[in-house]
Amino acid sequence: MARVRLVLAALLALGAGAAGILVAAAPAQAAGVTATFSKVQDWGSGYEAKMTITNGTGATLSGWTVAFDLAAGTSVGSYWDALLTSSGNRHSFRNRDYNGTLGAGASTTFGWIGSGAGVPTGCTINGAPCGGGPAPSPSPSSPPASTPPPTSGTPVARNGQLRVCGTKLCNQQGQPVQLRGMSTHGIQWFPNCYGNAAFDALATDWRADVVRISMYVQEGGYETDPRLFTDRVHSYIEQVSARGMYVIVDWHMLDPGDPNYNLSRARTFFTEIAQRHAGKPNILYEVANEPSGVSWSSIKSYAEQIIPVIRAQDPDGVVLVGTRAWSSLGVSEGASESEVAGNPVNAANVMYTFHFYAASHGQSYLDTLSRAADRIPMFVTEFGTQTSSGDGANDFNRAQQYLDLMARKQISWVNWNFSDDTRSGAVLTTGTCPNGPYAGTSRLKPAGSWIRDRIRNR
């Protein structure tokens, strides 16, 4: 949406549909420093907002604080690229370390999710009024400066509601984050591997940030008993959430490879999951595990039908969309990341998934992930150190190359899989479930010891 600068009086005349607000200058630069509000997206009950700060002076601006009021009934949800302090209806956004200094002519942005229709009024930059001019005398009732985000506690306590900002996954302070964790195997086959002892070990011994709950749709999964498997997912979400980890709800469609085959089932499932857990800040929705034999346009169409179902219940949750050819960005069928980057899903707060198995997927896959991460938001929701069957010899050298790339580019990842399956990709030795122990290394296969070490040691 084009940004149109409006004085505050014009905004009040236009109401909540106004495209932009010209916000005032810092005291030292008068009207030469501006901040412009715009709605990136508006879904009626809320919107995604962006504020662009521009230093139109000939001097360097060192630090900024943008403050404004939102009408009663409108609140700030997740936000990024700023620190927030709120007092009643007054919200004060302060620069981060990396975007506080603006040279002459430079600009920066921050954003937030607004719940409700109200847009900013009474805006100031560094205390100066919206229309420019000198700042008023300091008020003892001004909001205090923001405190730094917590550096200890559980992953969710540290990071809160996650949000896609640019090509990164960001926490509630607007800082890019990299989640690391484990995926369950199919919960229809290994339910005895997922209980309090296992989730305790993942939270405290493995120090995982995230657990992916893989609910197969076919292969003896959801379609055989929707009520049983939906309730099982509810239970796992509650157990993982109680331990302060993030949860990926994985709609594990695999065969048939066209996600539209299960569209009606997906609508029913995600409506209930999102409705019950919308108040939690730690839920991510993976809406199509590994599409195959189907075009990107078909996958995109499916995603654009499922995302509104989730958004109707949970407007803030990050949605993860599978890509063509078993979530290889099309590489396994001769395509590349360009088909997604050139035709992205028409929705905000979306990331795209990539899966790899180190012993099968070499340099061309690694290069594709690297290029894609510079263009679109990526999340590796499944990978193994073995072949694509989840079995065979481990290629730890190639796997480390992937992990190094993902660390450099802050790509979150989840390893396949936390179970005692006989295959080499299952991290627990056969017979470990249901009695464990799950902590330590005594019941881990080589892949299990390797990945546990890389989750624990940042």
Closest by Cα among 201, 321, 326, 306 to 263: 306
User: What tokens appear for 131 in the block?
Assistant: 């229309």
Cα gap 6→207, rounded to integer Å: 49
Cα gap 4→336, rounded to integer Å: 37
Q: Is 48 a catalytic residue?
A: no
**One of 48, 286, 290, 339 is an active-site residue; which one?**
290
In terms of Cβ atoms closer than 10 Å to its own Cβ (0-12, 13-18, 19+), residue 42 is middle
Q: What angle do CA 426, 429, 434 make, to 5 degrees?
A: 95
Helices (H), 64-223: 155-159, 196-200
Following CA atoms 16, 21, 27, 30 in sequence, which dihedral angle do they give, to the nearest 10 degrees?
A: -150
Residues paired with residue 355 on neighbouring β-strands, in sequence order:
382
Cα gap 401→406, rounded to integer Å: 9
The residue type of 107 is S
User: What tokens appear for 107 in the block?
Assistant: 């600009």
Closest by Cα among 284, 388, 301, 378 to 345: 301
Cα gap 291→160, rounded to integer Å: 30
Q: Is 290 a catalytic residue?
A: yes
**One of 286, 337, 339, 382 is an active-site residue; which one?**
382
Cα gap 267→5, rounded to integer Å: 40
Active site residue ranges: 290, 382
